[in-house]
């Protein structure tokens, strides 16, 4: 089993990283927060649509690139690394859902950037959805909906455990902005009344797919935190030498690198399961990838702040933006503890008499 990305895939990731780099998210996030503007980069979103990133897994007929799940995970990773203020991961997941139905009109709108998708798939037992469905129309309340303030559709679950892609462009939608630590994405409560929706089948597999893509987003953020800490340890001098020369800092960064690589291995298992699509493997891999990625992003953000010292807490530093994002991603799909409980449930073996 080879988890290594090909040279072409690595080049693709570099292409997306360069695009994100052109728009320099951290300065924009701070400016929007100062001005009280909801986080969404319309220019970046249009650029992603123009270069067919939003239809990464869709066929060229529908405006996509016709690529596979490996490329989806790479895109999620780069979005996390860049703190990209766009709903890329949710949109990629919605593309996979619409392919399975299929819905050509919606696929084209998705790839063109005309269908911004939000995600609300909390784990079972936590903030259980209160929405109900009658004749393909959804009513009820959803929260928290990441990117729900500006979304055109939401991928959510109903109280019966089924997944739906709900149209948010009608009159039967009320939105209330929620306070959030995250400066890269908004959060909202949505109250729906008879909104049309597309049935996507059981919610469990879609929640697992979301968890795996989210794990790669977290992994990208964690790697960025380490890169920031290493760069600062090289340029910050104390007692006549870079602080990275001191053993305590060296060991902290080396240990963080090891933990990130362990989380990366679990995320790769998730990518494999995503490609195979076997329900049993998918559920186990999603729990493992999500639990380890949630832990490592929080750890990396905290350790990066520690290495930066007081500078890390200043408004101009990028490090604290990642801590905010790490906390928000943890809340969106559930804590690492919840996913570990699910993993243990999958691994449980009946006791012998």
Point out the domain boundary residue: 94, 117, 140: 117
Q: What is the domain-level CATH number for residue 34?
A: 1.10.540.10
User: Based on the domain organization, do 78 and 133 belong to the same domain?
Assistant: no
**pLDDT confidence of residue 347:** 57
User: Based on the domain organization, do 154 and 38 belong to the same domain?
Assistant: no
> Which one, of 331, 335, 307, 304, lies nearest residue 320 by Cα?
304
Overall domain count for the chain? 3
Q: Could you tell me the pLDDT band of residue 351, with boundaries at 50, 70 and 90?
A: very low
**pLDDT confidence of residue 104:** 78
User: Based on the domain organization, do 92 and 31 belong to the same domain?
Assistant: yes
Domain of 105 in residue numbering reads as: 7-117
User: Based on the domain organization, do 238 and 329 belong to the same domain?
Assistant: yes
Euclidean distance between CA atoms 89 and 41, whole angstroms: 15
> Among the ranges 1-5, 39-43, 339-343, 345-349, which has the highest mean pLDDT value?
39-43
User: Based on the domain organization, do 195 and 229 belong to the same domain?
Assistant: no
Element (DSSP H or E) covering residue 332: helix 319-333
Decide if pLDDT at 207 tops 50: yes
pLDDT in tens, 136-168: 999 999 989 999 999 999 999 998 889 999 999
User: Based on the domain organization, do 219 and 322 belong to the same domain?
Assistant: yes
Decide if pLDDT at 353 tops 50: no
Q: What is the domain-level CATH number for residue 160?
A: 2.40.110.10
pTM over 0.85: yes
Euclidean distance between CA atoms 121 and 157, whole angstroms: 6
Residue 11 structure tokens: 């080049």
User: Based on the domain organization, do 157 and 105 belong to the same domain?
Assistant: no
Point out the domain boundary residue: 61, 83, 117: 117
Task: Report yes or no on 2 lying in a domain.
Answer: no
In percent, the amount of the chain with pLDDT more than 90 equals 84
Q: What is the mean pLDDT of the chain?
A: 93
Euclidean distance between CA atoms 219 and 144, whole angstroms: 22
**HSE-CB of 179 using CA atoms within 13 angstroms:** 0
Euclidean distance between CA atoms 216 and 89, whole angstroms: 10
From the CB of residue 17, how many other CB atoms can be counted at a distance below 10 Å? 17
Task: Report yes or no on 353 lying in a domain.
Answer: no
Task: Report yes or no on 90 lying in a domain.
Answer: yes
Q: Could you tell me the pLDDT band of residue 122, with boundaries at 50, 70 and 90?
A: confident
Decide if pLDDT at 42 tops 60: yes
Point out the domain boundary residue: 117, 145, 174: 117
The Cα-based distances of 12 to 56, 71, 212, 316 in angstroms read 11, 8, 20, 30
User: Based on the domain organization, do 101 and 221 belong to the same domain?
Assistant: no
**What three-state secondary structure class fits 261?**
helix
**pLDDT confidence of residue 2:** 65
């Amino acid at each position: 089993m080879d988890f290594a990305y090909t040279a072409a895939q690595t080049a693709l990731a570099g292409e997306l990283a360069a695009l994100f780099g052109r728009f320099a998210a951290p300065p924009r996030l701070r400016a929007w927060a100062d001005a009280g503007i909801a986080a969404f980069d319309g220019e970046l979103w249009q650029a992603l649509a123009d270069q067919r990133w939003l239809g990464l897994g869709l066929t060229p007929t529908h405006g996509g690139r016709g690529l596979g799940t490996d490329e989806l995970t790479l895109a999620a990773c780069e979005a996390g690394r860049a703190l990209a203020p766009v709903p890329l991961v949710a949109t990629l997941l919605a593309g996979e859902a619409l392919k399975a139905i299929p819905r050509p009109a919606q696929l084209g709108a998705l790839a063109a950037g005309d269908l911004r998708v939000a995600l609300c798939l909390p784990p079972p037992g936590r903030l259980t959805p209160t929405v109900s469905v009658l004749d393909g129309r959804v009513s009820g309340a959803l929260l928290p909906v990441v990117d729900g303030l500006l979304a055109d559709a939401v991928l959510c679950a109903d109280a019966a455990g089924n997944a739906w892609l709900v149209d948010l462009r009608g009159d039967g939608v009320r939105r209330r902005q929620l306070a959030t630590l995250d400066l890269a994405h908004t959060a909202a409560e949505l109250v729906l009344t008879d909104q049309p929706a597309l049935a996507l089948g059981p919610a469990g597999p879609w929640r697992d797919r979301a968890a795996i893509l989210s794990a790669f987003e977290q992994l990208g953020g964690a790697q960025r935190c380490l890169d920031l800490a290493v760069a600062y340890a090289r340029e910050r001098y104390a007692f006549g030498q870079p602080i990275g020369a001191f053993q305590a800092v060296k060991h902290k960064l080396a240990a963080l690198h090891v933990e990130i690589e362990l989380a990366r291995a679990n995320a790769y298992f998730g990518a494999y399961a995503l490609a195979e699509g076997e329900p049993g493997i998918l559920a186990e891999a999603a729990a493992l990838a999500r639990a380890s990625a949630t832990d490592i992003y929080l750890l990396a953000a905290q350790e990066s702040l520690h290495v930066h010292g007081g500078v890390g807490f200043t408004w101009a530093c990028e490090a604290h933006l990642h801590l905010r994002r790490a906390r928000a991603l943890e809340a969106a799909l559930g804590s690492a503890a919840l996913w570990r409980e699910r993993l243990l449930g999958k691994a449980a073996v009946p006791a012998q008499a």
